[in-house]
A and B are shown apart, each in its own frame.
Chain A
Amino acid sequence: MITGTLLTEKNLSAQRPILFRYALLQLRDSDLADDVVQETLLAALQSASSFEGKSELRTWLIGILKYKIADHWRRSARESTVSKFTLTDEDEGETEQDDFFMSSGHWNHGPKAWSDPEAALKQQEFWTIYETCQTNLPPKMAKVFMLRELVGLEAVEVCRETGLSEANYWVIMHRARLRLRECLEIHWFNTTKKEKHHA
């Protein structure tokens, strides 16, 4: 059931950047990511007839991409490598308990002002810290955050990908931002005043 407008090469290649970022984050190799995306788009064109206009084009493509990535892991006999995106965490997201806020709902360690965050973006050391902070998020939270902010999927697409309810999605993203913010503040923006703090 092809709706001709949906499966043009132009429409497919418009999805390329998102597919590439998705593949890059999992494969950590840009040539490989390129290849896998190429294969995905080719497969999409070849199996155009199996695309039912019902599902979103991007969702359909990501489905193929995931298959291609899994295929790559199988071929390269690195099955033991657990991709970040397949991990889950039991806990995070549901409970109201955290130490960002007091029981009254007021900030516990509230966000302080950061001096010149723009300058940080240009510094190599900042990115090392950024990556560490991002990697230290609980696995599922990291996945949700990365699908939204790094890959660039819409919130609904992230929910579809991860099987989260919308309500849980908001809780997880809120918490991811709180954690990242705190981590960056402690390890980058506030390093002059060394304070003991839970990471």
Chain B
Amino acid sequence: MRSCRDISALISQGLDKKLSLGERFAVWLHVMMCIRCRNFRTQSQFIRKAARHYTDNLQSRLDRKS
């Protein structure tokens, strides 16, 4: 049984590369039972989305200032 530290590391990696079948299975099995890791997954995805909005926002903020 892998720990939350390991599973959240895999979840993070999964955002940047394709995990192996074994890794994906381990994550799937773990998040079924672990609400915290499930939250971590949702929140990491949200952070990615927020980051992508960020530069667009930055640009319009900078434009407004000048």
Q: In the complex, are the beta carbons of B39 and A112 less than 8 A apart?
A: yes
We find that the number of chain A residues with CB closer than 8 angstroms to chain B is 42
**CB within 8 Å of A: which B15-66 residues:** 15-17, 35-37, 39-40, 42-44, 46-55, 57-59, 62-63, 66
Partner among A30, A117, A149, A185 whose Cβ is within 8 Å of the Cβ of B63: A30
Q: Does A101 count as interface, using CB distance less than 8 angstroms? A: yes
A101 pairs with B5, CB closer than 8 A: yes
Chain B residue, CB-CB nearest to A169: B16
Whether the pair A177, B12 counts as a contact (CB closer than 8 A) is yes
In the bound complex, residues from chain A placing their C-beta under 8 Å from that of B42 are 114
Is A110 located at the chain interface by the 8 A CB criterion? yes
Contact in complex: B5, A181 (CB < 8 Å): no
What's the nearest-Cβ distance from chain A to residue B41, in Å?
9
In the bound complex, what is the Cα–Cα distance between A21 and B55 (angstroms)?
A: 7
Quick one: closest B residue to A166, CB to CB? B17
**A173 — which chain B residues lie within 8 A by C-beta?**
12-13, 15-16
Specify the main secondary structure of chain A where it touches its partner: helix
State whether A106 and B4 are in contact (beta carbons under 8 Å apart), knowing that A155-B16, A170-B13, A181-B44 are contacts in the complex.
yes
A113-B39 CB under 8 A given contacts A24-B59, A149-B48, A181-B47: yes
B55 touches A104 (CB 8 A): no
B12 touches A121 (CB 8 A): no
A105–B30 CA distance with the chains assembled, in angstroms? 13
Report the 3 A-B pairs with minimum CB-CB distance, sorted nearest first: A105-B3, A110-B36, A111-B39
- Give the A-binding residues of B (Cβ under 8 A): 2-6, 8-9, 12-13, 15-17, 35-37, 39-40, 42-44, 46-55, 57-59, 62-63, 66
